[in-house]
Structure 1
Amino acid sequence: MVKVVNAEKEDIKQWLVLAAKVEKLFGPMVDDPLFVQTLERNIREGRAFCIRENDGFPGEQLLGGILISTKNAPSYKIGWLAVSEQARNKGVASALMKHVLEHFQSPAEVSVVTFGEDAKGGLPARRLYEKFGFAPQEEPVPNGPEGGSRQLFKLIMN
């Protein structure tokens, strides 16, 4: 069983370690001041959640993390979700998703931009969102910073 907790400022270094490991899928983040500022703001405002290795203390290695936006509630966004390679297929992403979805009050709409069908490395993310009831949308979304296609997914919570 994994424990989802609010990220703390002591987690920023490990969050950036995790981000570095997924940059090939997401594009540059660690050296992007906007990403770092967004991460810091989400942590400060209680919209960053993580799972630490062995349910460790703040600042210990992260197995996964998720950032959400609640400013347009009841329209919510999942802004970022990543799981370390060694923790994949072990329920980390599902635990993070379940945790944040329980934070959103129904009725609500939750959106996330994820990888397009042609992005091989993005298939697990697409399957995760579909498992939680998200449906792919037709509206166009710009390609990711690494050049890969993206697609908007939405979940309607009643």
Structure 2
Amino acid sequence: MKVASATMDDLKGWLELASEVEYLFGPMVNDPKFIQALEKNINQDSAYCVRENDGLPGSKLLGGILFSASNAPKYKIGWLSVSSKARNKGIATALVGHVLRLITVPSEVVVITFGDDIPDGQPARKLYQKFGFIPLDELIPNGPEGGSRQKFKLDCLKEPTFVKFGF
């Protein structure tokens, strides 16, 4: 499985991914702001994806991540999703591992993910914790669907240990 930089040819695949998780994230597919943010990340080479069978741009997407390095050494994972048919196959792990290998140290990486009260958000919480992210007590407004959110942070003072384990 190969993590690749997304291109504009992948835009349709990103919107298909988004349609699967709108019940968790709120409306995205028809939201011009989401589409603009996606296009901006693609143009800035900060959108990464895994394509079915490691295909060419425009192939079906199995997963995608948006990653901001604009405030380095403070980084942000802005969005992560894996297609329902491709879950539990290591795709999210590959995507998060890929972007964490892009950071310079020392640094910090933050992500806002689902609160502990969202059952479908538990896999995301566990994924970030596997990489060493720590949940913070900082209050975050509820998501557009009404569910709670929580900020997680990873402090990287040296090369992250996960690199040694092949994540």
Q: Same fold by TM-score, threshold 0.5 exceeded? A: yes
Aligned residues: 157
Instruction: List aligned pairs for 1:43-58, cutoff 5 A.
Output: 43-58=42-57
Q: Describe the superposition over 1:23-71 as per-residue Cα deviations: whole angstroms up to 9, x where unpaired.
A: 1111110011110000000000000000000001111100000001111
Q: Which amino acid aligns with 1:125?
A: A
Secondary structure in structure 2 of the residue aligned to 1:104: coil
Q: TM-score, normalised by structure 2?
A: 0.93
Instruction: List aligned pairs for 1:82-101, cutoff 5 A.
Output: 82-101=81-100
Is residue 105 of structure 2 the alignment partner of residue 128 of structure 1? no
**Alignment match, 1:107:** 106
Separation in 1 of the partners of 2:27 and 2:69?
Answer: 25
What RMSD over aligned residues (CA atoms) do the two structures have, in Å?
A: 0.5
Q: Structure 2: where are the runs of 5+ without partners?
A: 158-167
**Alignment match, 1:18:** 17
Secondary structure in structure 2 of the residue aligned to 1:22: helix
**Alignment match, 1:64:** 63
Q: Structure 1: where are the runs of 5+ without partners?
A: none
**Alignment match, 1:40:** 39
Separation in 1 of the partners of 2:27 and 2:145?
Answer: 8
**Alignment match, 1:75:** 74
Aligned identity (percent) is: 61
Q: Which amino acid aligns with 1:109?
A: E
Separation in 2 of the partners of 1:86 and 1:13?
Answer: 17
Separation in 1 of the partners of 2:115 and 2:68?
Answer: 22
Separation in 2 of the partners of 1:141 and 1:25?
Answer: 15
Q: Which amino acid aligns with 1:53?
A: E
Separation in 1 of the partners of 2:127 and 2:115?
Answer: 14
**Alignment match, 1:141:** 140
Separation in 1 of the partners of 2:138 and 2:91?
Answer: 29
